[in-house]
Amino acid sequence: MTDGTFPLPNADDIVWDLPGDGPQRTALLVLPHAGGNAHAYSDWRDRLPAGVRLLIGQYPGRGARYAEELPTTIADLAGPVAAALPDDLPEDLVVLGHSMGSLVAFEVVRRLAASGRPARALVASACRAPFLPNPSAVYPERLDDDQLVAAIKERGGTDDGILDEPELREIVIPSIRADFAIDDVYRCAADEASVDCPVTVIGGDADPVVPVTALGRWAEITTAGFAEHVLPGGHFYFQQQLPAFFALLDTVLGAAPAPGALTASAAA
């Protein structure tokens, strides 16, 4: 897959749809990290307000899309997601990505704007700005499976039990290789790297993959408003900072915090 056109599988397999109870006035689309899958973010449903409809992108080569050809470009990740979004979405849509997922989110936002379905906001987590080169390329083509697993574990965010079980590892390694190969080389031309919506970037203060000093460069892709937040932690900082992370996210969503979440001022 290289040209951004796709024979689409079932839309429900491309975008998981997890609505809350009651009227859905806002939708949050989440794009997973390199090697990630929709299941890794499904428990976010319990932390979001009931009025927020949670959507999660599922990339080729995993879950119900396991038999599909593996992605080779960012278009192979973003294109099907943008095309498979439900027709009955609320007009208020926020798109969020973590790590490589932030780049996918950026591309999805661009596609939605071009199709007349603009997102209200973009949230980038633990990722370089799209016009910057990757500061922590993995080069999976140079690594054997054991070396790649070691590199993944160093970043965190993946269940080590999956990586340590030979049969499970054999299933997930191909998609991990494909994602990191895309992330290594992706770069949007600076004169094309723009969105029309506000951008919020969040990162960890001890992230070894994306330096905190690089987060502010996301401000250069929009004139519609920008906010930057840094929380304690590494590349998957939010796993240890869930209340603070969701308090920040609630401010973007414009939603009442879910039970147990910190206030925005407490998280800042």
Q: Which residues are catalytic?
A: 99
Q: Does residue 96 sit in helix, strand or coil? A: strand
State the DSSP H helix or E strand holding residue 152, giving kind and residue range, or none if neither: helix 145-155
Q: Are 235 and 99 in contact (CB under 8 A)?
A: yes
Determine contact, residues 126/235, Cβ cutoff 8 Å. Answer: yes
Place of tokens 């401010």: 251
* DSSP line for 164-205: HSHHHHHHHHHHHHHHHHHHHH----TTT---SS-EEEEEET
- Beta strand spans in the chain (E): 15-18, 26-31, 52-57, 93-98, 121-125, 199-204, 226-231
Residue 219 CA to residue 200 CA, distance in Å, equals 8
